[in-house]
Amino acid sequence: MTDPVPAQILELDIDAIAGAEGRVVVFSDDKGKLDQAGRRVNRLTRGALERFVASKAYADMKSGDAADLGFPTGMAADAVQVVRLDRKFDTAAARKAGAAIGKAKSGKDLLVLAGNLKHAHEVLLGLTLRVYAFSDHKTKDSDPEGPVTVMVTKPEEVQAAAADVPALAQGVFFSRDLVNAPSNVLTTTEFADQLVKLRDLGVEVEVLEEDQLEGLGMRTLLAVGQGSASPSKVVLMHWRGGSAETPFALVGKGVVFDTGGISLKPASGMEAMTMDMGGAGVVAGVMKTLAARHAKANVVGLVGLVENMPDGNAQRPGDVVTSMKGDTVEVINTDAEGRLVLADVLWYAQERFKPSGMVDLATLTGAIIVGLGHHKAGVFSNDDDICGAFLKAANAEGEGAWHMPLDPAYDEQLKSNIADMMNVGGRTAGSITAAQFLQRFVNEDCPWIHLDIAGVASVKTGTDFAPKGATGWGVLALNRLIADRYEDKA
């Protein structure tokens, strides 16, 4: 698994600047003002830095943008990176700046001259999240990442503020690694094995096998995987760090590969369906972050791990399956399989744990991409309070999310002539009817959020904080939601 780049926070030493190798980062504001470290760099470079911050190129930069001065005279560094942060910059700009620094790092040693910069820990978080590459299957060994040194005037304060940065990055990277992994490697068994390793961090992990799932009546989940050679599983991860008697629950869709089953997907683009376990990947990442930062919260994560294949034993369109709840479902389209997996796991989570609240995550529908693109996840909820808290957390973490409707009127599209419901409701309002389907497996007294992350779990072009591929979207927002709402405050 990918480890975050090593970083240390030290007291500012301007005498060390001239001999620093690799890359050196300085900051300036919208007026081109230089701090103590910036003035030293300017003297070393014989005024080059001062000339740059007075230029039109610098004036055209936005807060959080960065530019390079290559091979600076009077310094051992390969480049000085100049980052603009306007005087009233916020957390988002600080993280954006950090991401720009991380993107340009290119494996080299890095000295960040943050001085008395506010939000220096947020700069470090943005930097750390962007220095990521999935190279598990490259035959050529990657060059090791050079270390990061952040120099500040008050190192103890910044160290305290940045205490959770490694844990946040570990959770995001765990999620990304899982989602980026090819399906012949990350089988349902290997996925479960990776989650079992969380025991080393103090997480209780339990793996339910097919015979146990059959005994529990999880027939909608099992029906999805019955055409695959990989056994279906449900993995439970419990972090008991808080005093609350009832846990907060996270539920993730873990379809390690989705061919669509008998309702076969088109060949073009099917290789991307290695990411259809993105919801389970985010749940795993959140659980790792909670354990790594020793969160004072009681949280359980449940993931349904299956593979949807068109074998001779696969479920067919027209089949009727019975959920753990006891409701029957007419399977109209075997490619609408994620909701069948989540239906049983949601019900099981409530039956066993009686959670104080519940969030499920799934790369569930193409319809949400049509509606929101790749910038925001769809948020559906039966409770305005928890929904508002999540949207606030997502906004604070810069993870795009948009509140979508739930309404009984959409249930008409799910009516079946031969069963309690169909698993699809036609082309119109596809993401909403999927959420309406899931809501039938949520008790009215359980605050619940459904996150459709099909558009944000993995992207074809890089984002500010991640290269092309898996993003880890949701780890930061859910960690913040838990910290703000479900963690002991004492």
The residues annotated with a catalytic role in the active site are 265, 339
**Residues forming beta bridges with residue 150, ordered by sequence position:** 9, 112
d(CA 182, CA 166): 26
Query: Do residues 176 and 2 make contact, with C-beta atoms less than 8 angstroms apart?
Result: yes
Residues 6+ apart with CB under 8 A from 15: none
Radius of gyration over alpha carbons of the chain, in Å? 24
**Residues forming beta bridges with residue 238, ordered by sequence position:** 204, 300
**Residues forming beta bridges with residue 7, ordered by sequence position:** 148
3-state SS record for the chain = CCCCCCEEEEECCHHHCCCCCCEEEEEECCCCCECHHHHHHHHHCCCHHHHHHCCHHHHCCCCCCEEEEECCCCCCCCEEEEEECCCCCCHHHHHHHHHHHHHHHCCCCEEEEEECCCCHHHHHHHHHHHCCCCCCCCCCCCCCCCCEEEEECCHHHHHHHCCCHHHHHHHHHHHHHHHHCCCCCCCHHHHHHHHHHHHHHCCEEEEECHHHHHHHCCHHHHHHHCCCCCCCEEEEEEEECCCCCCCEEEEEEEEEEECCCCCCCCCCCHHHHHHCCHHHHHHHHHHHHHHHCCCCCEEEEEEEEEEECCCCCCCCCCCEEECCCCCEEECCCCCCCHHHHHHHHHHHHHHHHCCCEEEEEECCCHHHHHHHCCCCEEEEECCHHHHHHHHHHHHHCCCCEEECCCCHHHHHHHCCCCCCEECCCCCCCHHHHHHHHHHCCCCCCCCEEEEECCCCCEECCCCCCCCCEECCCCHHHHHHHHHHHCCCCC
Q: C-alpha angle with apex 229: 228 to 233, nearest 5 degrees?
A: 80
In the numeric block, which tokens belong to residue 42?
């300017």
| AA identity, residue 131 | V
